[in-house]
A = this chain, B = another copy of it.
Amino acid sequence: MNNGPIASYPFAREVPDGDTHERHVCGDCGWINYVNPKIVVGAVCTWEDKILLCKRAIEPRHGYWTVPAGFMEEGESTAEGAARETLEEACANIEIDALIGIYNIPRISQVHMMYRAKMTSPEFGAGEESLEVDLYAWDEIPWNEIAFPSGVWALKHYYETKELTAFQPFDNPELDRHRTR
């Protein structure tokens, strides 16, 4: 059975009754394909004063370094997702203790939620999506080889608030105008 490319299905772009946005609506049955932003969850994880970074074994940004992070899955909480990604990518167990930032990337419809976490033991290793994993002192971080802007922001905002317990999570640097911490 071959139904051909998706473009041959009778979907049209239209604004459903009572809605405010254009959606893909099926011309046969009226089913509406809502597309909403996706959540990326991650964590700046430390053991003593060092920060856990993973060298990416996958695209995009193969070979660049990142804090453990990935798409939140159904059936988990945001914090559980960040811990799962850390276990998958860096084989490390963590305990989350604060939310560092919520970074909005509207161009690609992503919301990145970055937590602060402590490793519960010094063990770590390269998961399937990592070429290598290592602990970096602050002044050894390879800033020019960090995979994504949200990783740079999370690291810098981590450093700015690492002694604090009560603070509002940061926005993207260019959006950060409302908050006091």
Residues of A within 8 Å of B, CB-based: how many? 55
Cβ of B1 and Cβ of A10 under 8 Å apart? Answer: yes
Q: What residues make up the interface of A, taking CB atoms closer than 8 Å to B?
A: 1-3, 5-6, 8-10, 18, 20-21, 28-29, 31, 34-39, 58, 71-79, 88, 96-99, 102, 104, 106, 109, 111, 113, 128-129, 164-169, 171, 175, 178-181
Known contacts A3-B9, A21-B73, A109-B74: A166-B167 contact under CB 8 Å: yes
Contact B99 A77 (CB under 8 A): no
Residues B73 and A36 in contact, CB atoms below 8 Å apart: yes
Q: Cα distance A76–B37 when bound, in Å?
A: 9
B178 contacts A97, CB within 8 Å?
yes
Contact between B102 and A78, CB atoms less than 8 A apart: yes
